[in-house]
Amino acid sequence: MSATTQPIALTLTGAAAEKVKQFIADEQVPAETAGLRMSVLPGGCSGFKYGLSIEDEPMEDDFVLDASGVRVFVDPFSAQYLNGVEVDYVTTMQSSGFAFRNPNATGGCGCGSSFTA
């Protein structure tokens, strides 16, 4: 496997990093190789939507980043949309979940999980 590194800026807040580390532990995947896959997929109410999942290891063409001590896997297509993105984990009285701040987005929707670029 020859995953590569890419000089893109991607940030996980402390709260997001802790939540991802908890998910990795819960999934019981190998800590040495496992990480968070961040992707951008066609769909959602604004054109693109974010994807997050825990994976055992990166794919061969993934960019592998370190974000707040978490290994993050990003495919080449998604990398162009994720540069500069900050991911937070937010808890309110009504809900909790990951929130994305994307400087590349030209529009979005109320759900906060999809965007226009």
| Cα-trace Rg, the chain | 14
Tell me what pLDDT residue 63 has. Answer: 93
Domain count, the chain: 1
Residue 115 inside a domain? The answer is no
pLDDT in tens, 48-103: 888 999 999 999 999 999 999 999 999 999 998 898 999 999 998 888 889 888 88
Tell me what pLDDT residue 114 has. Answer: 47
Residue 75 inside a domain? The answer is yes
**C-alpha distance from residue 41 to each of 8, 45, 90 (Å):** 18, 12, 22
> DSSP secondary-structure letter at 102?
-
Tell me what pLDDT residue 117 has. Answer: 46
Contacts of 13 (CB under 8 A, 6+ apart): 68, 86, 87, 88, 89
Q: Which of 25, 27, 23 is nearest to 12 (CA)?
A: 23
CATH code, domain carrying 59: 2.60.300.12
Residue 3 inside a domain? The answer is no
Residue 31 inside a domain? The answer is yes
Domain around 20: 10-110
Q: Which residue has the tokens 């978490």?
A: 70
Instruction: Pick the more confident residue, 95 or 13.
Output: 13
